[in-house]
Structure 1
Amino acid sequence: MKILLLVLFSLCLGAKSISFNHATQNPTRVYPNSSESILSYSKYISQTKNSIVNISTKSKVKQTNNKANPFADPFFEQFFGKDYKKLIPKNRVKRSLGSGVILSSDGYIVTNAHVVQDAQEIEVSIADKEKKYQAKIVGIDIDSDLAVVKIDKSGLQAIKIGSSKHLEVGDVVFAIGNPFGVGQTVTKGIISALNKNHIGINKYENFIQTDASINPGNSGGALIDSRGVLIGINSAIVSRAGGNNGIGFAIPVTMVKDITAKLIKYGKVTRGYLGVSIKNITKELQSLYKRENGAIIINIAKNSSAEKYGLKRGDLVYRVGDKQIKDASNFSTVVGSYKPDDTIVLHIERDKNNKQISVVLGKKEADIIIAKQDKLFDGVTFKYNSNLNQVEITKVQPNTKGYDIGLRVGDIVVQVEKIEIFTIKDLKRVLNRYKGKKKRIYIKRNNQIYMVVSK
């Protein structure tokens, strides 16, 4: 098993800005009221379909597994000599399909980061039309699983942008994309839940859950309301077999707007860094605090903003500015929405007394990625936290081996078999040592140690 350390570089096309095509933010809802009428959404869906694109990518994958190559058998060496291996292709071409949404008439398109992040070549076709356009990456944000690409084409139909603030469970929604590469497809459902986190897919999670059928190839496509207005970007499903089970997740459009605007302007998303480890309030801790909601600080990084401005272990953060904090995941998302050098006001409870602390955020370091070719941690993104000297999991793709064995976003890898893990090099070394063997992997989650097993 060979692990490749990759650093993700985004192609910035220059500092730009974008003007979104906004729809009415709080529309009036209409309900069926006549037996003589048919409830149809075809008018609004047809207006939206030309804003949805199919995306196909090509990437070169280095051949590292001899078992997967039939010509690696010693049988061939007997007949063709030792030099015959030079004729065996060392790389193979990997092809993937996804979807995207046109944000502007001049060719900016949003999709999922996992659709394009490893691509050497990206082709875009609009609404099942045969003409294909070469696309360039403008920027990728792994933590939110969003990316922006651009094609050289003007006069495109930009989708109308809605708002996540006025969504309600039970609203009718449609997922539009290119499932299994069969072409543009529309499926219908409702909003099943809002503000879903702790899914273990992305670092920053605030998903819209829907039962609209989402399948492989839908990633990066649109989730629209009954007016044909964008309310989310389809991102992931929960499935044991890889198909739709009625549990799909979309990134809310408010987050999409924020992330894509930064990617278009700067080519990347740089988040403010506070430097704390946090956890939720548990039943055991509830008696120690007046409040039931918030995020408890359990560790503070050295030389971080949190240390500089006087935050302490045990502080309960219940508000940031005017935003109420529900739990640890919500706190991470809120802090991550600010930039380095932004000043935020933290409302904390310390020893059952309220306190306000103004903090100037620092800069968050870039993630280090272990490539998907790693069979043990297939679909998992790791980051070395130099302040805490630990290896953290920042992303887990669903329906991969890493997800199936129980790894989740936020886990800290502390030990593999008898070897403690402090750096990415430690992890690489121990995985090579136990290559092909069953391994016990110890992780720290919510201040508790868990063990998962993988071969």
Structure 2
Amino acid sequence: SGVIISKDGYIVTNNHVVDDADTITVNLPGSDIEYKAKLIGKDPKTDLAVIKIEANNLSAITFTNSDDLMEGDVVFALGNPFGVGFSVTSGIISALNKDNIGLNQYENFIQTDASINPGNSGGALVDSRGYLVGINSAILSRGGGNNGIGFAIPSNMVKDIAKKLIEKGKIDRGFLGVTILALQGNTKKAYKNQEGALITDVQKGSSADEAGLKRGDLVTKVNDKVIKSPIDLKNYIGTLEIGQKISLSYERDGENKQASFILKGEKENPKGVQSDLIDGLSLRNLDPRLKDRLQIPKDVNGVLVHSVKEKSKGKNSGFQEGDIIIGVGQSEIKNLKDLEQALKQVNKKEFTKVCVYRNGFATLLVLK
């Protein structure tokens, strides 16, 4: 499914709907015309993509301000579930600002109990006025059907990403270079501000490092955006582009301070990263300091997937950024050397089973 966002044929949908597609065709409700669509750009980190058809005077959707949404608001999910044709289901907003779902790198989902099923992906979640609340993205289900837990990408994020994809065809995100946690428990007693994003580590050479930010600083505001939680900081920085000047407010030792600096990008291959073992994967050893930064249990050992290239063997096999490779075939993997030896022993003409640790669970992937 998809949503028309301009009269001249721009359509927003999910990245996973069009990813790796050779051709894209679009059918509009109430029309027998089949349009060929062009991929304008996609952003795997938010699971959004923009395509375009050659058409004019289309009815484009109106965006609502997703920051104004409340739990209990009535919403309607539109789409083409199971390929049976256009349909509408109703429900309410069950929760807002849902993150750590493990679906996208940048998550700020709207949770709804409106029935969202396979085929609804990329379709609209609208309010009672028909205004766009979000883009239906995923469901939590054991069997692939609807269990009353669906997730949509909020309209404000959709609007921002779609605009940038139309302008540039890609997203050039700025990168702060910090590991952050929420203020909780006794930690709150050490700060005057009771909300924000607590810096627990700073990557050397990053924007944050050059701006003088340190472990223990509590970020409370970036530009005009009040930061109440780590997800606020992560998602807001994710909307900013490389080279953009930002003003960041933070608390250190009981004093409110401010830093202004130019936002840099993330280095593709920082020191210690190896990218020649599995096509499309940048890999690095998982040392104790990295475990602490990423909040990985001490008993988990393996090789960290630092990044995944689009249209690569690694991407097609289902690897995600942040995965930890813990086994290949019957071999246990504790470091890059183990991985290199294990890959040499497998038959490259056959599928290779790779066990990864992801979001607290072991998952089996097949290297194709």
**TM-score, normalised via structure 1 length:** 0.64
**Does 1:248 pair with 2:159?**
no
Secondary structure of the residue that 2:162 maps to in structure 1?
helix
What is the match of residue 391 of structure 1?
305
What is the match of residue 127 of structure 1?
29
Listed as ranges, the matches of 1:328-343 within 5 Å are 328-343=230-245
Secondary structure of the residue that 2:166 maps to in structure 1?
helix
* CA gap 1:394/1:438 in 2 versus in 1, 3 angstroms: closer
| TM superposition shift of 1:283 | 2.6
CA distance in 1, matches of 2:248, 2:342: 41
Q: Between the two proteins, what is the percent identity of the paired residues?
A: 50
What is the match of residue 197 of structure 2?
295
What is the match of residue 359 of structure 1?
261
What is the match of residue 182 of structure 1?
84
| TM superposition shift of 1:331 | 1.2
* CA gap 1:256/1:366 in 2 versus in 1, 3 angstroms: farther
The residue type paired with residue 178 of structure 1 is N
CA distance in 1, matches of 2:124, 2:189: 44
- 1:274 paired residue among 152, 170, 176: 176
The residue type paired with residue 299 of structure 1 is D
Q: CA deviation digits over 1:82-135, x for unaligned, max 9? A: xxxxxxxxxxxxxxxxx0011111111000001001101111100153321111
Q: CA RMSD in A?
A: 3.3
Q: Tell which has more relative contact order, 1 or 2 (C-alpha 8 A, sep 6+).
A: 1
What is the match of residue 71 of structure 1?
none
Work out which of the two has the higher radius of gyration on C-alpha atoms and give 1 or 2.
Answer: 1
* CA gap 1:441/1:104 in 2 versus in 1, 3 angstroms: closer
What is the match of residue 225 of structure 1?
127
What is the match of residue 100 of structure 2?
198
Q: CA deviation digits over 1:336-389, x for unaligned, max 9? A: 11111111122222223322111210023579xxxxxxxxxxxxx976589x89
Whether contact under 8 Å (1:113, 1:145) holds in the other structure is yes
Whether contact under 8 Å (2:176, 2:207) holds in the other structure is yes
Query: Relative to structure 2, which stretch is displaced further, 289-298 or 332-341?
Result: 289-298
Secondary structure of the residue that 1:255 maps to in structure 2?
helix
What is the match of residue 141 of structure 2?
239
Listed as ranges, the matches of 1:27-106 within 5 Å are 99-106=1-8
**Does 1:260 pair with 2:162?**
yes
What is the match of residue 413 of structure 1?
324
Listed as ranges, the matches of 1:137-148 within 5 Å are 137-148=39-50
CA distance in 2, matches of 1:147, 1:439: 29
The residue type paired with residue 244 of structure 1 is N
Q: CA deviation digits over 1:155-178, x for unaligned, max 9? A: 221112222122222221111100
* CA gap 1:102/1:324 in 2 versus in 1, 3 angstroms: same
Whether contact under 8 Å (1:113, 1:146) holds in the other structure is yes
The residue type paired with residue 452 of structure 1 is A
The residue type paired with residue 249 of structure 2 is H
What is the match of residue 136 of structure 1?
38
What is the match of residue 154 of structure 1?
56
* Count of residues paired in the alignment: 326
CA distance in 2, matches of 1:244, 1:359: 46
CA distance in 1, matches of 2:209, 2:112: 41
Listed as ranges, the matches of 1:362-381 within 5 Å are 362-364=264-266
CA distance in 2, matches of 1:115, 1:429: 36
* CA gap 1:427/1:339 in 2 versus in 1, 3 angstroms: farther
What is the match of residue 452 of structure 1?
362
- 1:350 paired residue among 252, 256, 262: 252
The residue type paired with residue 250 of structure 1 is A
Runs of 5+ unmatched residues, structure 1: 1-98, 368-380, 396-401
CA distance in 2, matches of 1:118, 1:291: 46
Q: CA deviation digits over 1:179-202, x for unaligned, max 9? A: 010010111111111222221211
| TM superposition shift of 1:434 | 7.3
| TM superposition shift of 1:292 | 3.4
| TM superposition shift of 1:298 | 2.3
CA distance in 1, matches of 2:197, 2:144: 34
* CA gap 1:298/1:225 in 2 versus in 1, 3 angstroms: same
What is the match of residue 293 of structure 2?
none
The residue type paired with residue 334 of structure 1 is Y
Whether contact under 8 Å (1:270, 1:364) holds in the other structure is no
| TM superposition shift of 1:451 | 6.8
The residue type paired with residue 391 of structure 1 is V
